[in-house]
Amino acid sequence: MASHAFRNTSENIKRELDSIFKEVKKPELDGKFISIARLEMSKDMAVAKVYISTLSGMDKTEKVVSALKAAKGFIRGELSRRLDLRHTPELVFIPDDSMEYGARISKLIEDGLNGDKND
């Protein structure tokens, strides 16, 4: 039962963070597609590691993460307001290149398939 509640809380946090990110007023975030690659909660749910990925490359992802860190107080406050949690976890934002990596692999596959047609 606890595992189900733990998973449900993690999913709720992830969903709300997606929504809150769109409300953060930082120029580094304007027009960026921000994805939560994964969210890892500590067993006591005191800390949430949020792995952030974008399609804009690792340099831009690191700038996005810096902007999110600067807005962490606002983000955590909004999260607390939206979710009925005993304690709102501390948020740790970490850059992740999984979206960029996936896009690069997709392009390689597409280029390979298109190359086979021309042979």
Name the residue ranges covered by the structural domains of the chain.
2-118
**So what's the architecture of 2-118 in CATH?**
2-Layer Sandwich (3.30)
Residue 9 has pLDDT above 80, yes or no: yes
Site of tokens 């996936």: 102
CB 116 within 8 Å of CB 74: no
State pTM to two decimals.
0.81
pLDDT, mean over the chain: 87
CB 94 within 8 Å of CB 104: no
CB 71 within 8 Å of CB 26: yes
Residue 19 has pLDDT above 90, yes or no: yes
pLDDT of residue 1: 43
Q: Cα-flanking dihedrals φ and ψ of residue 36, to 5°?
A: -90, 105
Q: What percent of the chain has pLDDT over 70?
A: 94
Sheet holding 47-54: strands in order across? 34-41, 47-54, 90-95
Residue 78 has pLDDT above 60, yes or no: yes
